[in-house]
Chain A
């Protein structure tokens, strides 16, 4: 198969970027999207050019490293797959393919197609955990967890932290990412204890880092490679509201005392 590629090239965070056109030929339809880009880079290296930098690692759809915006969609045209699981058979011979980095204020560009997503780590550091220490915990079967709850928690926990939801959102909101973590932990008895504080801290951190707000377009759910549902955003909003009401009530109680 032959393709024309239009790729965003940008030397570093401060340089000005531009779309550059390349041609690749004799690509197997069984090649993955990255194997196609590998072929382009081979071509560039042997001809004295500058290979295209892109993030990738496990190449099996689970690490969340890959991040390409392909023909206007995060992770490309297929639903429910990451860029690394996209194969060239999903394109037509002779297609022109546009490849850009994630675009979001909170994800500055490092080089070419690589962006800095450490903002997502900061949100987790703000409260995306259960505060337990190694050791000194009860036997794993002490607290039964209803099967359905465990399954819903797992649905939310399947998030790979790639940031496609942010890239897909017209407001560059991280609501799906945060909602998924808040839900995962709030659905389990182990995470319930800190649920109110957690949601407040994580939402505050998300706002601080320059992510936008949610306007319910559901683009995040549509583009999430792991099919994380917007139900998680609703759950987070409910949790957030409840937590705020609770802290208001505590204030009133404190004042009246």
Chain B
């Protein structure tokens, strides 16, 4: 247990961050110039961190696999960003945002980190406005807010349905300014394939230049990973095609513990799967649940008729519709948290009430809202989302209700970090979605953007100084040192080995197979037998992959199949760890629903006596199962209770 020290500062939860900032060590400007920091990823967390560290005077190197930092997948976040501004005067406060986030996460997040997140949330909005982020505004010129799932106040700031895009472009502009000033050096089209440790501290990374295939070494005094989530382990998800686990997986294999890997968010409002050729899923923003009502037919005969297309959804009278979220959760209605809404959709579809060609969809209906607010208002609020839906599905949501189904969207698990956002490897930090820290077992809507920017703009710039203050006498590292040679050789050997496989099947074939196993057995509902089954299926897949994968092209050229091959190899290993994690957690909490542990009404049944802990896994080598460490979660501020949205 001694290995996991979260290093939470003394004092009441409201004073911890203030106390920390007053006591943490500082690095003077002259010394900052002599310290190098590597940042991996240019999403909200990575770009904001790199820009802020550059502003402080550190020498920063930033890496992304995309052709430009502006394309990181934060760009696709639609709905909004939470903050405790209480501009609408509806009773919000830092404490309430903190409380909602802990409760929304089903009491599996660390109080101190979450309180700090709520505390800095307001500064994020101030900064973004100053950067020129065009948030939605009221006619009086002040900022507008809307409500989101899991909250009873309106605390979400937004820029149409493109909030992630606008916030990322804000961070990208700050980053661009630092690049122009020479404080930050940008490396585009690079895959980060390994983390390099020297004397037990993180001192660099090994990258592959995706254009030339060159294996490159980069050294620094500290390494910051902000490489995003690993939802693509399911093959089909709302993540970008390139989103991957590789940077944090390489860190895991070098000793950074991986926390709560099985905590996955399945988002309730996505466009249903159309067929076998499908390559990704598209999210419809949660903000739609503000005005859309979710329902399925109450009678199976109507389900049948819809499928035969003898009736249209609008032919079903009000009395024969089951607005199941409003029925089951009258207090929150269509705005229950994501995990609850997803499970409720699955329950209806499994019971045979699903709609659409496959029966795996429910209606999200705007007819009432259009009647109440008018076509124009709905168009202003959700126009781009309606357009997007129509483009994909070839159906007009103003006339027929949308069809939606849950899909993998976000991963709450990630590298274990302490209060400083440092992993169990000294000098290795993890920010944003790739750490585990703030969302417990379920993330509330509009909180991912908040966390990414909180970590990058307002937390890491303090906490990394606390670490680097002791490094001012360490000279710049030479990336030709033995440790770097060794790591680079290992990476090259791995690529050669993979390329040497004489198989016949494409990487995607195996990736799809992995995705099916994960979705079936480690998705929205899990049980012990299924998980045991999944373990042997993954072991078999791993074996088949090593023998049967076909990677065309060379190592020293632009080779997208080779990139995918590395990522999928890591996803297969990660899949196994996720299954083990889901298996050990013999309770249901948030997005982790074990069928054996539910209430009579089918709600998640937590076991706080035995499982109020963070599960942190330590790598033990390729042939040995990972070791489990537990960080007990202490709740001093908030009383644990069963989440109730009724």
Listed in ascending order, the chain A residues whose CB lies under 8 Å from chain B are 11-12, 27-28, 30-32, 34-35, 38-39, 41-42, 44-46, 48-51, 53, 55-65, 80-81, 85, 87, 89, 110-111, 114, 116-118, 120-121, 124-126, 128-135, 137-141, 143-147, 150, 153-154, 157-158, 160-161, 184-185, 188, 190-191
Contact = CB atoms under 8 A, between A and B. Distances in A.
A45 B132 contact: no
B75 to A, nearest CB: 5
B550 interface: yes
29 contacts: A28-B277, A31-B275, A35-B277, A48-B552, A49-B552, A56-B241, A57-B241, A62-B76, A63-B240, A64-B70, A85-B388, A114-B558, A121-B68, A125-B180, A126-B180, A130-B132, A132-B174, A137-B127, A138-B130, A140-B125, A140-B128, A140-B129, A144-B141, A146-B137, A147-B141, A154-B166, A157-B166, A158-B160, A185-B132
Contact of B127 (A11, A55, A56, A135): A135
B561 A133 contact: no
Nearest to B133: A157
A15 to B, nearest CB: 11
B76 A60 contact: yes
B35 to A, nearest CB: 18
Residue from A44, A65, A120 having most chain B Cβ neighbours under 10 A? A65
A9 to B, nearest CB: 13
Interface string B103-128: 00000000000000000000101111
B240 A150 contact: no
B147 to A, nearest CB: 19
Interface in B50-83: 51-52, 55, 66-71, 73, 75-76
B91 interface: no
Contacts of A188: 132, 134
A61 B186 CA distance: 25
Given A62-B75, A147-B138, A150-B136, A42 B506 contact: yes
Given A31-B277, A128-B173, A141-B142, A61 B241 contact: no
A134 B461 contact: yes
Contact of A53 (B48, B277, B509, B560): B560
Residue from B68, B128, B165, B457 having most chain A Cβ neighbours under 10 A? B68
Nearest to A111: B558
Smallest CB-CB A-B distances: 4 pairs: A144-B141, A129-B173, A137-B130, A154-B134
Contact of A89 (B71, B137, B242, B394): B394
A121 B166 contact: no
B505 interface: yes
Given A57-B73, A85-B392, A157-B134, A124 B558 contact: no
Interface string B552-565: 11000110110000
Given A51-B560, A129-B131, 8 more contacts: A59-B282, A60-B282, A63-B66, A132-B127, A140-B129, A150-B136, A161-B68, A185-B132
A124 B277 contact: no
Contacts of A56: 241
**Size class of the B contact interface (CB-based, 8 Å):** 35 or more
B67 A116 contact: yes
Contact of B279 (A32, A49, A140): A32
Nearest to B180: A125
B400 interface: no
Contacts of A191: 132
Given A63-B73, A117-B68, A140 B558 contact: no
B22 interface: no
Interface in B7-50: 48
Interface in B384-425: 387-388, 391-392, 394
A44 B558 CA distance: 17
Nearest to A52: B560
Contacts of A62: 75-76, 162, 165
Given A45-B506, A147-B137, A157-B166, A190 B75 contact: no
B68 A134 contact: no
B65 to A, nearest CB: 9
Interface string B267-288: 0000000110111101100000
Given A12-B557, A117-B68, A145-B141, A133 B55 contact: yes
Contacts of B550: 45-46
Contact of B392 (A45, A63, A87, A111): A87
B176 A121 contact: yes
Interface string B370-395: 00000000000000000110011010
Contacts of B392: 85, 87
B177 A131 contact: yes
B139 A147 contact: yes
